[in-house]
Amino acid sequence: MSRLFNSSSSAINSSRREDNSSSKTDLEQIEVLSVSLIVTFSFMCLLIVAVNGLVIFLIRKKESLRTTTNLFLASLALSDLMSGLVGIPLLVSCLVRDLINVCVSSAIFIRFTAISSVCHVLLIACDRYIFIIHGMQYHSLVTKQRAIAATIVVWLFSLLASVIQLSWYLFYEIAFTEYEEITEDFNRKYSIACIVLFFAVPLLLMGYIYGRIFQISFKSNKTDRQAGKNLQQPSRSLLHEWRGRNVLLITVVIFAGCWFPYFMAMLDDYMNTSEQTLMPLWAQRLLIFLGFIPPILNPILCTLAKKDVRRALKQVVLQRKRKNASVDFGVHQEQISLNIPSI
């Protein structure tokens, strides 16, 4: 996967080796393209840190938000925050310096945050499923201790799944002098396992879970509207109903649209034995960008779309405005007192 992440720098180096007589205009275009990539990644890094940092801040500040569901959301926000704070800087360093150790570290860490994000999204989907299906027994099934244990398992499992690839590199490098064929075969199997375990299975489970939630929500809302007509009471608006359904649908679409190209690119990287990949450079960069879209949208769809989180955000903003207004009023009163002449 490291070839995918250092694609731009390797492409620049190979182009310079193949044609040393290229014009300065071509080199300037390549340099400008690299700078534009760095600027774009820097903007994405700031955006990821801002939205996920806001989620962690709200859950940490407001005691009313410290629920088991929000514990999963805070853990997801932490995982996405790490992809912005550590993953993108490592990737930019790989693009600029093209050092093998930096690029390998970048590939492993980004894979770690990707697997962690996928597992957290699936964990949140399971939590919603239990809440909808077993509403009366939810608090007895999903306790704080079980939620903490599930979160720890997700982090450890994601770390193990991302670094296990190093095991056969270290083992076969010590055991044999020529181990490329063996490691390449392991890499292909590892890529297929990642696609099955961290994309296909979670996508099928999320499809089933959200499908059941859609079905139960539709039946419940239909019953509520019928009861409201009989009792002549106002029922929930269709706009409010479809807003919640659209959030679930968009979550699945983003999951499929962003993570499928990522894991397929990892498989293509090991299926292609030649140094020059058949995938165009623009396609490689597009796949890299797609991998950083979920850390931006996850906190917006999974957390900030919740009513209790939005209410807490409004309270924090209002408290800050009142505090600033009181400070300004105090400064104004102090200035007035200083201007009053003594008798």
pLDDT tens string 169-226: 776 555 555 556 677 778 888 888 989 999 999 999 999 998 888 888 778 766 766 6
**What average pLDDT does range 22-36 have in this prediction?**
50
Residue 26's pLDDT band (boundaries 50, 70, 90)? Answer: very low
pLDDT tens per residue across span 62-79: 888 889 999 999 999 999
Question: In the numeric block, which tokens belong to residue 137?
Answer: 């027994």
CB-CB contact of 212 with 223 (8 Å): no
Residue 38: pLDDT band with limits 50, 70, 90:
confident
Q: What is the reported pLDDT for 98?
A: 75
Q: What confidence tier does 262 reach under pLDDT thresholds 50, 70, 90? A: confident
pLDDT at 151: 96
Beta carbons of 254 and 202 less than 8 angstroms apart: no
187-195 long-range contacts, CB within 8 A, separation 24+: 187/270, 188/267, 188/270, 188/271, 190/164, 190/165, 190/270, 191/263, 191/266, 191/267, 191/269, 191/270, 191/271, 192/267, 194/115, 194/161, 194/263, 194/266, 194/267, 195/263, 195/264, 195/266, 195/267
d(C-alpha 17, C-alpha 26), whole Å? 14
**Residues 58, 59, 64, CA angle at the centre, nearest 5°?**
105
- In this prediction, residue 231 carries a pLDDT of 56
Helix (H), strand (E) at residue 161: helix 144-163
From CA 111, how far away is CA 198, in angstroms rounded?
A: 11
Q: Is the whole-model pTM more than 0.75?
A: yes
Contacts of 327 (CB under 8 A, 6+ apart): none
Q: Is the pLDDT of residue 6 over 50?
A: no
Q: Compute the mean pLDDT over every residue in the chain, rounded to the nearest whole number.
A: 77
**What would the two tokens of residue 91 be?**
């990737």
Question: What was the pLDDT predicted at 277?
Answer: 52
Name the least confident of 5-14, 206-215, 218-227, 293-302: 5-14
35 phi, psi to nearest 5 deg: -65, -40
* pLDDT tens for each residue of 119-138: 999 999 999 899 888 888 99
Tell me the mean pLDDT in the region 252-275. Answer: 75
Q: Which of 300, 310, 301 is nearest to 244 (CA)?
A: 301
User: Which of the pair, 249 or 180, is modelled with greater confidence?
Assistant: 249
Question: What distance in Å separates the CA atoms of residue 159 and residue 245, rounded to the nearest whole number?
Answer: 32
Q: Is the pLDDT of residue 317 over 50?
A: yes
Examine the pLDDT at 290 and tell me if it is beyond 70: yes
